[in-house]
Amino acid sequence: MPSWPRLYRGSKLRGLAAVALFAVMAALFVGADFGDVAGFPADASITASIGYAMFNLDGGAVASEGMLAAFEIIDIVLVAAVVGAVMLASRDDEEDGEPIDPVDGGEN
């Protein structure tokens, strides 16, 4: 007989806090001013401009923010953390020193 998950009927404060946080974040996102969209010039090298922005050098034909390098560093750290978590979560499929055959699940 299957067992069904039970509904947690504890404190309603957590749910209320989650709804309030959602309301605040939704109000911030709806009211945010993202500025005007500017497009790229026809003769600009976008790849070179990204390279200049990553090293905070002046010389790119496309205007950019100085946060690109920080974004890329955070991206690399988060990818490394995810890969590390997957490696730690993977289980060792060896019993008594002999590898398990993934086709039959180690039955033979």
Give per-residue pLDDT as tens, 44-100: 788 887 778 777 777 777 776 666 667 888 899 999 999 999 988 876 655 555 665
Residue 75 confidence (pLDDT): 92
In a domain, 48, yes or no: no
- 8-state DSSP, 98: E
In a domain, 76, yes or no: yes
Q: How far apart are CA 16 and CA 88, in angstroms?
A: 35
Q: ∠ CA 54-55-59 to the nearest 5 degrees? A: 95
In a domain, 78, yes or no: yes
Total domain count, the chain: 1
Enumerate helices (H) and strands (E) in the chain, giving the number of each. Answer: 3, 2
In a domain, 82, yes or no: yes
| Structural domain span for residue 85 | 66-91
